[in-house]
Chain A
Amino acid sequence: MPEHKTQLIEKLTGVYASKRSYYGELKDKISEITKRNSQLEILNELARQISINTPLDQLVMNISDRVKQIIPFDRVSLCIFRGGKLYLNCFHPQDGLSCTGMEIPQDQGQALWHVGQTTRQLVWRPGSGLDDLHLQRLGIRVAVISPMFAQDRVLGLFVAANLEEINYDPTDLAFLQQLANQLTIYLQDRDLFAEVTRAKVEWENTFKAVKDLILVVDRKMQIFRVNPATLQYSGLSEEALMGRQCCEVICGAATACNDCAVCEALQTGETASSQHEFDDGRVMEFYAYPSNYDQGEPGVVIYVKDITERLKMQVQLLKTARLAALGEMSAGVAHELNTPLAVILGDVQLLLRELSMSEEKHELFDDIKTCALRCKQIVQGLLTFSRQEQYVFYPLSVNNVVQEALKLVGYQIETDNIRILTNFEDQVPQIEGNAQQLEQVLVNLLLNAKQSFEGTAGQRQIGVQTGYDQRRGQVYIRVSDTGQGIRQENLAQIFDPFFTSKGVGKGTGLGLSVSLGIVQTHGGTIGVESEPGRGSTFTVYLPPLPETETESA
């Protein structure tokens, strides 16, 4: 009987051909559905893990464990193309041969590169025509290489490999490709996410770094975003600030000011700026930048800068320039006056010597002499102020300076029924300076203090204090009185030459400006605080000697 005949009879009457069973079919279907479900679960899980930002190697390990339950394989790996090269990005389990980040050159991984080029899934087996040393070395018998294809390029490869020969059915292969697709999305999303996060952090840091106030308000001028500087300024927590009116928080006003830049920006949609002086003297500059104006939900980014200090500095600069001009002029005048004044003085002294005291003219010449001396004093002051004179600087203690000054005028002050309270800091650092000049400054300040009691009743007390101001890093001498004080409007002018609040003839008006000049030659400054009716405090700040010299001294 011919072979095929036997076979046909076998199939018709033999024991191996059977009626197809529904039970079997059902079981197959159920197991297929179960497998499908697992596959869906894995894909879902993957989709979820993308959003919670699991590290890639962790993700690949999780996938490997889950997928193994439905598709048999021994190893999974993920390779990434970067800059025309292929790198092993992660793999599971460890094998002692591979390491993360190792490059797989084209001649080593022909099968892998082939998939990268064809963008089509490949089931590779050793001896299938493509020599892949990389896979062969690992003892792989079957490898399903799925491309991770995005837009127009292959990002990488997802490889599921088996150490035993096995046949994968088409649904398994389709699933592995789906998995690769999902991983592609994961990779893209992750890169995007990192990029966005990085950009966000950068902006946040910028936002935080700015020391001026930055606020974002909506069209009702309600705050919805602020930087830390604003929190500090307002003294409120971020939660407390949200939804508050910016007028209230920044200006302390119930409604918007007339020329408010924020209002203007909201109305015009253009950048606006304005300046506001608050009751406490601070001056704030506002810049309002409309944002989202086109998108129907307009808001304004507000930049607020406290320019009080800057303005002060500008005024100071102007003053300095003015003083410099004045100083030069004064010096010129003083020089011109010096010679005739010397002649007047010399002549009048000659004349006085020749006249007897009883003579009527003697008194007149004496007056001339007194006035000429006074003129000489003024000229001397002017020359000092304009730094026309040179002095030698050496290390000294401010305590000594103060003590010398008190020796000169202390008695004079105390006889005027004024108490002097001293408080010297023993460890005060030495400074470099000229003792005579600084004594002159101190005498000036002390005499000013003494004069502040004129026409006042009440406590008559002058405090003299020395010390070291840690914050400024400067040595200071503070002279405070409980006298009449200086009116606010005068405070700005007291260091100007020829300015005096004293009656005509009682002061040269040069005392404080000359003092400031001396202190400035010493690299220091003079601060003043005053309250009319309660007294004034003048503080001379001077830089200390550099540390080492202090120690050696």
Chain B
Amino acid sequence: MEIFKFMVPEIIFGKGTLRLVGESARRLGATKVFLVSDAGVAGAGWVDQAVRHLHEVGLEYEVWTETTPNPKDHEIEHGRELYLKTGCDAVIGLGGGSAIDAAKAVAILVTNGGQIDDYEGVDKIARPLPPLICVAATAGAGGEVTQFTVIVNTQRRVKMTIGSKSLVPDIAIIDPLLLSTIDAVLTANTGMDALTHAIEAYVSVAATPITDVLALRAIKMVSSSLRASVASRTNMEAKTSMAMASLLAGIAMSNAILGAVHAMAHPLGGLLNMPHGEANAILLPHVMRFNLIACKERFADIAEAMGEQTEGLSSREAAERSIEAVERLCSDIGAKQHLAEIGLQEEHIRELSQAAAADVSLITNPRDASVEQLAEIYRAAL
């Protein structure tokens, strides 16, 4: 890519930076904040804490925690109504992928109007969003820095990817302390999501030297810290490292875009409400195997970044080491190995493959994939 654009929000990183949420919102001109979160994050007490910080700087707020994993279009509709009814003028997303995606979607509707389906696709947003701050409560989803949001169309039972530079938040806050209340399973799933972002960005046809640096660094950090982070809730060093890895992977993925793993994971979320990270973890090695021939050297780089010994190996062999490394990591952290375990059946594959073929994420996949090829991968991962 000779000419490209690279975009990141203002980033605030570090332990305890959640307290800056109020001041950040004020700085953007907010007077009444629409705080989008979910039940899990609220249960852990983070919503209360955020509210306290808003209160400290004299901001009014409306808390909305109706979002569910894989946020649905009708939920967004409620969010919009509440935002407009209560007269808010800024949006804060506090949570993992779902809460942040929901926050972005509500932000689209309140200034652009219409239905969320209207914005499915790329660069469909015509008017600026209200001031948007995203606070990451997991290490993986990356929504706090990306130009994407993914919303389930409940009628079509598909995940709609919406991509627009306007969706890049104004401020991203990454506070590793928030990771300390997450259980091992979610830590593992979100960690694998981050790894998938980094790997897909690195092999993406839209990768740039900037995203390469970020992606490789993210891969390296996930490989070295995810196991420890899954293992202990209180290992702040591992948590901080995973928070940074997720951030770097998110930036890389937002600018270099994704690939077949996400293209295939999105229909699983839409059709079977499958957790995003789990689906990614199962699909990742299979897609890597499929993509291998497109860019062996890149996969070799990944193997190296994951700590594999590749000296003296052919590029093919070195590339294959990356798949082994991913599979070993999955196994170590107890990630599921088969889609059947999370409810996929052969009869779904046809519909899933068609949806995956139409997903925006697929366009930057290094190897062109037909519906049949995608079906084959699903079957392999079953």
Given A8-B363, A20-B126: A13 and B166 within 8 A (CB)?
no
Q: What residues of A have a CB within 8 angstroms of the CB of B363 in the complex? A: 5, 8-9
> Is A14 a contact partner of B128 (Cβ separation < 8 A)?
no
Answer whether residue B122 sits at the interface, using C-beta atoms and an 8 A cutoff. yes
Q: Are B1's CB and A17's CB within 8 A?
A: no
Please list 26 pairs of residues, one from A and one from B, whose beta carbons are closer than 8 Å in the complex, sorted by A's number.
A8-B122, A9-B205, A9-B257, A9-B364, A11-B123, A12-B122, A12-B147, A12-B163, A12-B257, A13-B4, A13-B5, A13-B206, A13-B208, A13-B255, A13-B257, A15-B3, A15-B5, A17-B122, A18-B5, A19-B168, A20-B125, A20-B127, A20-B128, A20-B165, A21-B128, A25-B128
Listed from nearest, the 3 A-B pairs whose CB atoms lie closest are A20-B128, A19-B165, A11-B123
Given contacts A5-B363, A12-B147, A22-B128, contact A17 B164 (CB under 8 A): yes
Asked if B128 and A13 make an inter-chain contact with CB atoms under 8 angstroms apart, the answer reads no
Residue of A nearest to B164 (CB): A17
Is there contact, CB below 8 Å, between B256 and A13? yes
Nearest residue in B to A20 (C-beta to C-beta)? B128
Kindly supply a per-residue 1/0 record for chain B positions 1-35, scoring 1 wherever the CB is within 8 Å of any chain A CB and 0 otherwise: 10111010000000000000000000000000000
- Residues of chain B having any CB pair with chain A under 8 Å: 1, 3-5, 7, 122-123, 125-129, 147, 163-166, 168, 205-206, 208, 255-257, 360, 363-364
Query: Within the assembled complex, what's the spacing in Å between the Cα atoms of A9 and B364?
Result: 7
By a CB distance below 8 angstroms, the chain B residues around A17 are 5, 122-123, 164-165
- Hey, which chain B residues are within 8 Å of A22, CB to CB? 128
Q: Mark A11-38, 1 if CB is under 8 A from B, else 0.
A: 1111101111110110000000000000
Given contacts A13-B5, A20-B129, 11 further A-B contacts (CB under 8 A): A8-B122, A8-B363, A12-B360, A12-B364, A13-B4, A15-B4, A17-B123, A17-B164, A17-B165, A19-B164, A20-B127
Please report the C-alpha to C-alpha distance between residue A13 and residue B147 in the assembled complex, in whole angstroms.
Answer: 10
A451 to chain B, nearest CB (A): 117
Question: Residues of B contacting A19 with CB < 8 Å?
Answer: 7, 128, 164-166, 168
Bound Cα distance from A22 to B107, whole angstroms:
14
- Docked pose: A24 CA to B166 CA in angstroms: 13
A293–chain B nearest beta-carbon distance, Å: 61
Q: Considering the chains assembled together, what is the distance between the CA atoms of A366 and B282 in angstroms?
A: 179
Closest to A26 in B: B128
Complex Cα distance, B363 from A459, in Å, reads: 142
Q: A277-315: which residues lie under 8 A (CB-CB) from chain B?
A: none
CA A12 – CA B204 in complex, angstroms? Answer: 12
- Considering the chains assembled together, what is the distance between the CA atoms of A12 and B256 in angstroms? 8
User: Across the interface, do B127 and A11 meet the contact criterion of CB distance under 8 Å?
Assistant: no
> A11, A12, A19, A24 — which one has the most chain B CB atoms within 10 A of its CB?
A12
A9 / chain B contacts, CB cutoff of 8 Å = 205-206, 257, 363-364
Please name the residue on chain A nearest to B3 by beta carbon: A15
| In the complex, residue of chain B having the shortest beta-carbon distance to the beta carbon of A17 | B123
Task: Report B-chain residues with C-beta under 8 Å of the C-beta of A8.
Answer: 122, 360, 363
Shortest Cβ gap from A30 to chain B (Å): 15
Min C-beta distance of A228 to chain B, whole Å: 69
Distance A18 CA – B163 CA, assembled complex (angstroms): 11
Bound Cα distance A266, B171 (Å): 86
- List of B residues within 8 angstroms of A13 by Cβ: 1, 4-5, 206, 208, 255-257
Given A21-B128, A22-B128, A25-B127, does the pair A11, B256 have CB atoms closer than 8 Å?
Answer: no
CB neighbours of A1 from chain B (8 A): 205
Task: Kindly name the residue among A19, A20, A24 whose own CB sees the greatest number of chain B CB atoms within 10 A.
Answer: A19
A25, B127: Cα distance in complex, Å: 7
Q: How far is the CB of B92 from chain A (nearest CB, A)?
A: 17
Report which of B3, B122, B165, B257 forms a contact with A18, defined as CB distance below 8 A. B165
Q: What residue of chain A has the Cβ atom nearest to residue B7's Cβ?
A: A19
What A residues does B5 contact at CB under 8 A?
A: 13-15, 17-18
Q: Which residue of B lies closest to A24 (CB)?
A: B128
CA distance A24 to B129 in the complex (A): 13
User: What is the distance, in angstroms, from B125's C-beta to the closest C-beta of chain A?
Assistant: 7
Contact of A11 among B122, B166, B255 (CB under 8 A): B122
Contacts of B125 in A (CB 8 A): 20
Look across to chain A and name the residue whose beta carbon is closest to the beta carbon of B4.
A13
Give the shortest distance, in Å, between A148 (CB) and chain B (any CB).
Answer: 34
Contacts of A18 in B (CB 8 A): 5, 165
Q: Within the assembled complex, what's the spacing in Å between the Cα atoms of A537 and B123? A: 117
Q: How far is the CA of A360 from the CA of B247 in the complex (A)?
A: 178
